[in-house]
A and B are shown apart, each in its own frame.
Chain A
Amino acid sequence: MSLGKTEVEYISRLTQIEVREDAVDGVAEKLSNIIDLFAQMEAVDTQNVLPMAHPLDAVQRLRPDVVTEVDQHEKLQAIAPAAAEAHYLVPQVIE
């Protein structure tokens, strides 16, 4: 399967990763190769194989429901790009 310019632009928008105009063809070819690899893998029979949730064969540890964190917003906001009235500031979002 081969991806074209349209697909690359679409994926670029979804991933929020900018692809320069002169790099589109190269990216399209690389992505197509990756998808071809998936196509090859599809040939494997996975009917009775449980999808892998984690590479480690271990079980999630749980913690008791206790409040252990204290208010550190001043320290955390000191390293934020912008903050005001205890809020983190980001470029305006319009619904």
Chain B
Amino acid sequence: MSWEVVIGLEIHAQLTTKSKIFSGASTAYGAAPNSQACPIDIGMPGMLPVLNQAVIGKSILLGLALDAEIGKRSVFDRKNYFYPDLPKGYQTTQFEFPIVGQGKLEIELEDGTKKVIGVTRAHLEEDAGKSVHGLEQGQTGVDLNRAGTPLLEIVSDPDMSSAKEAVAYAKKMHELVQYLGICDGNMQEGSFRVDSNVSVRRPGEPLGTRAELKNINSFRFIEKAIEIEIERQIELIESGGTVVQETRLYDAENDTTRSMRTKEDANDYRYFPCPDLLPVIITDEDIEAVRTTMPELPDAKRTRFVAEFGLSDYDATVLTGSRAMAEFFESVVGLTKEKDVKLCANWMTSGFSAALNRDGLSVTESPVSAEMLAGMIERILDNSISGKIAKQVFEAMWQGEGTADQIIESRGLKQITDTGVIEALVDEVLANNLEQVEAYKAGQTKMLGYFVGQIMKASGGQANPGQVNKMLVAKLK
């Protein structure tokens, strides 16, 4: 008998604010321990939280992108539990009245099929601190820099039925929050965390008991962890056992999941409205004001790149892989006077992307600016350099040797277009290859390629290949 898999994801996206959700302490990553934890963050008695207005706009932006209802009366609640990294004894979060209500996100699977995944809600909350072990014997150190960092927890409906679907959804959400500019998406630094709720059932039966997989910081491991967990649950049930509701950790080294803590007390968080915070009222005007700042979303951009620029689906997908990439590409196209979109796209998807990958850089860290790349493409288009020489020029720009024009000048790479010079080269090569000339005249026309190669070599790759070809054909008549 077959099994049906049910997966729902909870994604914590850290919002890109300068200060914390309820205090004026900095959220910068990597600061010295507790240097960014003020009296509000560490839960000193008598401190009052004041909500950061930036988190409201960013939440509305996501809500609009997910076609969701915006909570016009949004309430903060206390979720009570005891843990040293939570100095107040409760997490300030949202329970009954979240800022973003039911929405949806369409995902595309590898085989091209599309599926709409429901988004139950997204609510604002504060992050906790970090425990550090091994500072002192028998003691745990607590760093509260992260306490109070604004998070948007995005909860999906249990709509995914395979690890692949779950990862497609997580990736799509990851792309979206970065496009919206509300989260930097850095998974290594914990800015985008995915928790997966996984259960299995026989078709037609009620939902099975779920296990939650937490703290997995790469898409590849999320997929593996879910697959392993599905297998574990099926084997467990088929051998007569029952799944217990618990949190499990993925162990990448041994490719297994193991129990972290049971959630039997999950109903005992004793949520109640936070008396320190008043309800947040969001007006239609607020929502409309945010709507005007909505950037073009990835799907719309892809469709436009195909329609407006005549790009292939593949190129459009690669070029819209991130907002920075798409904006860089559009700048390059905009900056070249003579439009050759395909050539710009080729340089972006090959030379430029390859160099970024090789040096482990993001688009915004590229040593070659859009102006510089456009400048070089102009020189290809006006025949100053060939595509082959352009590779040299690009590499030199990448190494910081200046603009394309400066490099062409200083390295003497300008293409030879002087007819007299080209004629001399052609004559020289033909004179040195009399046998091949005879063969050509006897009908071996493929010899032409050989001559072109010899002439290009003699010119150090700088002769204009079109002119060389033309002159050769004329001379060999």
Residues in A lying within 8 Å of B, measured CB to CB: 14, 16, 51-56, 58-69, 71-73, 76-77, 82, 84-93, 95
**What secondary structure prevails in chain B residues at the interface with A?**
loop
B281 at the interface (CB under 8 A from A): yes
Pick 26 A–B contacts, CB within 8 A, sort by A: A54-B273, A54-B275, A54-B278, A54-B279, A59-B280, A60-B281, A61-B278, A62-B53, A66-B24, A68-B24, A73-B33, A73-B35, A76-B37, A77-B34, A84-B141, A85-B33, A87-B135, A87-B141, A87-B142, A88-B84, A89-B136, A90-B139, A91-B138, A91-B140, A92-B140, A95-B260
Residues of the A chain whose Cβ atoms lie less than 8 Å from the Cβ of B277: 54, 60
State in angstroms the CA–CA spacing of A85 and B136 once bound together.
10
Known: A58-B278, A60-B51, A93-B83. A88 touches B273 (CB 8 A): no
Give the chain B neighbours of A58 by CB distance below 8 A. 278
Q: Mark B129-160, 1 if CB is under 8 A from A, else 0.
A: 00111011011111110000000000000000
For residue B54, which residues in chain A have a CB less than 8 angstroms away from its CB?
Answer: 64-65
Residues of chain B with a CB closer than 8 A to A71's CB: 32, 35-36
Interface residues of B, count at CB 8 A: 53
Flag whether B213 is at the interface (Cβ < 8 A): no
Decide: A69 near B141, CB < 8 A? Known: A54-B273, A54-B279: no
Fill in one digit per residue for B83-101: 1 if any A CB lies within 8 Å of its CB, else 0. Answer: 1100000000000110000
B75 at the binding interface (Cβ < 8 Å):
yes
Do residues B139 and A66 form an inter-chain contact, with CB atoms below 8 A?
no
Complex CA–CA separation, A64 to B26 (angstroms): 13
Contact indicator A90/B84 (Cβ below 8 Å): yes
- Contact of B51 with A67 in the complex, beta carbons under 8 Å: no
The answer to whether B35 touches A69, judged by C-beta atoms less than 8 angstroms apart, is no
Interface-facing stretch out of B15-23, B113-121, B306-314, B401-409: B15-23
Complex contacts, A93 vs chain B, CB 8 Å = 83-84, 131, 140
B42 at the interface (CB under 8 A from A): yes
A80 and chain B: residue at smallest CB distance: B42
Q: Which residues of A contact B83 (CB under 8 A)?
A: 93
> Which residues in A have their C-beta under 8 angstroms from that of B261?
95
Interface residues in chain B, defined as those with a beta carbon under 8 Å from any beta carbon in chain A: 17-19, 23-26, 32-39, 42, 44, 50-54, 56, 73, 75, 82-84, 96-97, 131-133, 135-136, 138-144, 260-261, 265, 268, 273, 275, 277-281
Contact of B42 among A16, A60, A65, A76 (CB under 8 A): A76
Find A67's partner among B24, B34, B139, B273 (CB 8 Å cutoff): B24
- A88 in complex: contacting residue of B97, B144, B260, B268, CB < 8 Å: B144
Interface of A is mostly: loop
Once bound together, how far apart are the Cα atoms of A16 and B81, in whole Å? 10
Is the CB–CB distance between A85 and B141 below 8 Å? yes
Closest A residue by C-beta to B56: A62
Distance A64 CA – B24 CA, assembled complex (angstroms): 9
**In the bound complex, do residue B278 and residue A60 qualify as a contact, i.e. CB atoms below 8 Å apart?**
yes
- Whole-angstrom CA separation of A60 from B72 in the bound complex: 13
5 cross-chain pairs, A with B, having the tightest CB-CB distances, nearest first = A87-B141, A68-B24, A62-B53, A65-B54, A69-B38
How far is it, in angstroms, between the C-alpha of A79 and the C-alpha of B12 when the chains are bound?
A: 33
Q: Name the A residues within 8 Å of B73 (CB-CB).
A: 53
- When the two chains form their complex, are residues A69 and B131 in contact, meaning their CB atoms are under 8 A apart? no
Contacts of A16 in B (CB 8 A): 82
Given contacts A76-B39, A93-B83, contact A63 B142 (CB under 8 A): no
Given contacts A67-B18, A86-B33, 6 further A-B contacts (CB under 8 A): A53-B279, A59-B279, A61-B51, A62-B53, A72-B39, A91-B139
Partner of A65, one of B18, B84, B96, B135: B18
Contact of A53 among B18, B75, B144 (CB under 8 A): B75
Contact A53 B33 (CB under 8 A): no
Q: Give the chain B neighbours of A55 by CB distance below 8 A.
A: 275
For residue B363, give the distance in angstroms from its CB to the closest CB of chain A.
25
Min CB gap A71→B, angstroms? 4
Q: Chain B's nearest CB lies how many Å from the CB of A28?
A: 18
| Residue of chain A at shortest CB distance from B269 | A14
Instruction: Give which listed residue, B18, B50, B143, B265, contacts A61 with CB less than 8 A.
Output: B50
Within the complex, the shortest CB–CB distance from A89 to chain B, in Å, comes to 5
Taken together as a complex, chains A and B put the C-alpha atoms of A56 and B275 apart, in Å, by: 10
Question: Nearest Cβ in chain A — how far from B371, in angstroms?
Answer: 31
A86 touches B19 (CB 8 A): no
Residue of A54, A73, A92 near B37 (CB, 8 A) is: A73
The chain B residue with its CB closest to the CB of A13 is B265
Cβ contact within 8 Å between B131 and A52: no
Set of chain B residues within 8 Å of A69, measured between Cβ atoms:
19, 23-26, 36, 38
Contact B142 A84 (CB under 8 A): no
Bound-state Cα–Cα, A73 to B102, Å = 41
* Complex Cα spacing A61 to B261, Å: 39
Closest-by-CB residue of A relative to B129 is: A88
Q: Which of A60, A65, A77, A89 lies at the interface centre, i.e. has the most chain B CB atoms within 10 A of its CB?
A: A65
Among B37, B268, B281, contact of A14 (Cβ-Cβ < 8 Å) = B268
Bound complex: CA A72 to CA B265 (Å): 37
Taking CB as reference atom, which chain B residue is nearest A93? Answer: B140
